[in-house]
Amino acid sequence: DDAGHEAGDRVLASFAALLAALCRAEDLPARLGGDEFSVMLPGIELNGALGLAERMLGAVRSCAELAKRGVTVSVGIATWEPDDLPNDLLRRADEKLYAAKRSGGDSIAARD
């Protein structure tokens, strides 16, 4: 925010490109709004999602464009449960995201 909209746009574009490079063809990365993104990972269990999250944190930490802006990533992971509606999954992922942020950020929250 302090560097202006153009710098913010560059950070978002850099992160989106990094995220797209980490995802499989069948994954669905999307920007939810602001600086929040979501990735649907069909056919992936919790351990696979944790692996992607770890690779994402490592990639952000090693990306010069993001590092110079002090960008960190907080990840909240939720798995699909029987009888879930899409909003249930997003709500649980959002709860985990904020748990990761409360823990100091630059982290992953997935398990209760």
pLDDT of residue 7: 80
Using the predicted structure, report yes or no on whether residue 1 has a pLDDT greater than 60. no
Instruction: Tell me the pLDDT tens digit for each residue of 17-35.
Output: 999 999 999 999 998 888 8
Strands 75-76 and 108-109: parallel
Identify which of 32, 38, 5, 44 has the alpha carbon closest to the alpha carbon of residue 19: 38
Could you write out the DSSP letters of every residue in 87-108?
HHHHHHHHHHHHHHHHTTSS-E
pLDDT of residue 29: 93
